[in-house]
Amino acid sequence: MNHTRIIVPVLLIFLVNSPLMVLSEVSWDSKSLVLSTDLISIEFHNHSPEYWVRIPSSENNITYIIRYERVVEFLDTDDVSGYSDGDVVILEIPLCDVDWSITHEYIGNDSIGARVVLKSNVTITDPENGTIIGNASFSIVNHIYTIKGMHIKEYPVMKDRELKIDFYISWPRSSSDSLLALIVSFQIVGRDTVEKKFTKDKIKYDELTLDCVRLSGVPNEYVEFRYLNYSYELPTFSKKNVTITQLLDEYPGKIIFTYSRGGRSILHDHSILAYAYPTPRVIDLPPYYMGQIFIITCMLIVAGVLIILLRKIKKQRTSKVPPQSASLGESHTS
């Protein structure tokens, strides 16, 4: 058996999964506002938090749109948990209609990743008498990384294909009884044969569970909008439950996050992941599995080396056994 055929592929697997592999790069186009890697491309459409997501390796030419629609302050006056049409709206801000500043920076000279930050400040006025209530501020911090096993706080991020989003709200609430809701919508743009589906799912990493909405139009690719089912109240970073309403049978599909009473400043963790299979590169697995794969790979390499050494030792021992002399046979018969 030719053990070289086994050892060489194993070594290649080891090199691909090792930290010594060549890291991919992140690119940023400041004119078109596109952040991209080999596996995902995100356009901040119309200079706003409207994410046009594409998969560079795909030939399907589909755009997945994830749009931060608006923030609503409301009074929960019906029996429905979370924000709904029956509630009394106090104030609302359409997020794609306000002015945003967008800044960009590379992390580790683009060898580790990149960060794009959207910021906006809006003056809140009383809709009845026009008096100024205060300023609402929004900050959306987008991260993407090219190294495996990244965690932002406790939130795991898959390299090259997942955009981590930190969504910050600071809101001058007009009533101690009011609640805040964030509405995010989903669309799929492609050829006529594309089937536009929005489905909910869960992803587990160790003890952490992420909920997600999966956007799919064709069988071999999808985009996921992932999120935690709790937020952080700032500046204490205390965890608060988030009421989640999914309206995925509609088009556009929607998800509504309703945040707890009292907090003026809120942080909520989201992310956008793109996946197409087969991909032109080795498929990335969640960080949870990478340690196990590394250990198994090392064990296979050690086993391969041991097999080669044992074969060499056996061959050396065989070569040291003296052959029977032909002259002895001749003297015996003479």
Domain segments of the chain: what residues?
A: 24-281
Verdict on whether the full-model pTM lies above 0.85? no
Backbone φ and ψ for 279, nearest 5 degrees, come out as -100, 160
Least confident interval from 33-37, 97-101, 210-214, 274-278: 274-278
Bridge partner list, 245: 256
Taking the C-alpha atoms of residue 72 and residue 70, their distance in angstroms, rounded to an integer, is: 6
Sequence-separated (6 or more) residues with CB below 8 Å from residue 51 = 42, 43, 44, 45, 65, 66, 67, 163, 272
62: tokens are: 């589909």
Taking the C-alpha atoms of residue 112 and residue 24, their distance in angstroms, rounded to an integer, is: 9
Residue 24's pLDDT is what? Answer: 63
Taking the C-alpha atoms of residue 241 and residue 261, their distance in angstroms, rounded to an integer, is: 11
Summarize pLDDT for 152-186 with one digit per residue, the tens. 767 888 889 999 999 999 998 878 788 999 999 99
Residue 247's pLDDT is what? Answer: 93
101: tokens are: 């500043």
CB 107 within 8 A of CB 114: yes
Residue 10's pLDDT is what? Answer: 52
**Mean per-residue pLDDT for 79-85?**
82
Comparing 129 with 7, the larger pLDDT belongs to 129
Least confident interval from 37-46, 208-217, 275-284, 325-334: 325-334
CA geometry: angle 297, 281, 49, nearest 5 deg? 120
Taking the C-alpha atoms of residue 63 and residue 55, their distance in angstroms, rounded to an integer, is: 8
Residue 15's pLDDT is what? Answer: 46
**Mean per-residue pLDDT for 212-233?**
94
Select the CATH number that applies to the domain covering 24-281 from these four: 2.20.25, 3.30.2310, 1.10.3470, 2.70.98: 2.70.98
CA geometry: angle 164, 168, 172, nearest 5 deg? 170
- Nearest-CA neighbor of 281 among 23, 108, 9? 23
CA 163 to chain centroid, in Å, comes to: 5
**Mean per-residue pLDDT for 71-89?**
87
Question: pLDDT band at residue 19, thresholds of 50, 70 and 90?
Answer: very low
3-state secondary structure the chain: CCCHHHHHHHHHHHHHHCCCCCCCCCEEECCCCEEECCCCEEEEHHHCCEEEEECCCCCCCCEEEEEEEEEEEEECCCCCCCCCCCCEEEEEEEHHHCCCEEEEEEECCCCCEEEEEEEEEEEEECCCCCCEEEEEEEEEEEEEECCCCEEECCEEECCCCEEEEEEEEECCCCCCCCEEEEEEEEEEECCCCCCCEEEEEEEEECCEEEEEEEEEEECCEEEEEEECCEEEECCCCEEEECEEEEECCCCCEEEEEEECCCCCEEEEEEEEEEEECCCCCCCCCCHHHHHHHHHHHHHHHHHHHHHHHHHHHHHHHHHCCCCCCHHHHHHHHC
Question: pLDDT band at residue 330, thresholds of 50, 70 and 90?
Answer: very low
HSE-up (13 A, CA, CB side) for residue 265: 9
- In this structure, the dihedral spanned by the alpha carbons of residues 27, 54, 120 and 68, taken in order and rounded to 10 degrees, is -160
Mean pLDDT of all residues in the chain? 83
CB 73 within 8 A of CB 123: no
Comparing 101 with 9, the larger pLDDT belongs to 101
CB 195 within 8 A of CB 217: yes
Flag whether pLDDT at 328 surpasses 50: no
